[in-house]
Amino acid sequence: PSIPMFTYNPDGTVATANYSNFDALASPFINGIGTPNGAKLTSIALPGTPFGAGTDPAKRLNGFKNIIQHIKEKGWFDRLFDYSWDEPTVAEYTKVKERTDLIKAADPAIPRQITLRFTPELEGYVTRWTPQINDILAHTTQIARGVSYPDSAVYETRKMLGEQVWWYQACPTIGCFIEGKEYTQGWPNFIVEYPAMANRIF
């Protein structure tokens, strides 16, 4: 009930746009009104597909453009981004490119984020690289074994080009569904049974 609601003309342009529910629900959190100590949402993600657009290319593009324009009018554009793909496999790179091209066509200034280490095949498509922490830093167990590790300076190059670099922790560094062994120890994380210092490192 909170997403922007659209109807479309035969040519795929937006006929009507209803943001009443979206604004009513989202505004207090985005503007910090009625939240503890004025806390505000720092990020606003574009939807996977605009309401009612389905797979129609024109409807999808125009729906996104309409959302972006509304967000700009509300003064929230600096927090808008697209979570373009989550941990894509090589086989999904074509779909990643299709998605990021669509968002670039809607507005090239919107960060296009994927949860993946820097990948030359996606250069020019992604503007917010988000590798897992173990794709940036080597673990002490790896260093002790003399394992070579990719030079993290590549991310300094990406930043100099105006791109962003975020990072996160996930199953490889905590041992999801298994009893964690030596490799899974010592990484920053938000797991409740780990020492609070692991949270603070973030």
What pLDDT score does 202 carry?
Answer: 77
Phi-psi region of 69 (alpha: psi -120 to 50; beta: other; left: phi over 0): alpha
What pLDDT score does 105 carry?
Answer: 98
Tens digit of each residue's pLDDT, the chain (202 residues): 689 999 999 999 999 999 999 999 999 999 999 788 999 999 999 999 999 999 999 999 999 999 999 999 999 999 999 999 999 999 999 999 999 999 999 999 999 999 999 999 999 999 999 998 888 888 888 888 877 666 778 999 999 999 999 989 888 888 777 766 788 888 888 888 888 888 888 7
User: In a 3-state reduction of DSSP, which class is residue 16?
Assistant: strand
What pLDDT score does 98 carry?
Answer: 98
Q: Which amino acid is at 9?
A: N
What pLDDT score does 138 carry?
Answer: 81
Measure CA 29 to chain center. Answer: 19
Pairing label, strands 5-8, 14-18: antiparallel
152 CB-side CA count, 13 A: 12
The burial of 32, by beta-carbon neighbours within 10 Å (0-12 exposed, 13-18 middle, 19 or more buried), is given as middle
Query: Which DSSP letter does residue 41 get?
Result: -
Q: Which amino acid is at 78?
A: D
What pLDDT score does 159 carry?
Answer: 95
Do residues 65 and 24 lie in contact, with contact meaning Cβ atoms separated by under 8 Å? no
What pLDDT score does 177 carry?
Answer: 74
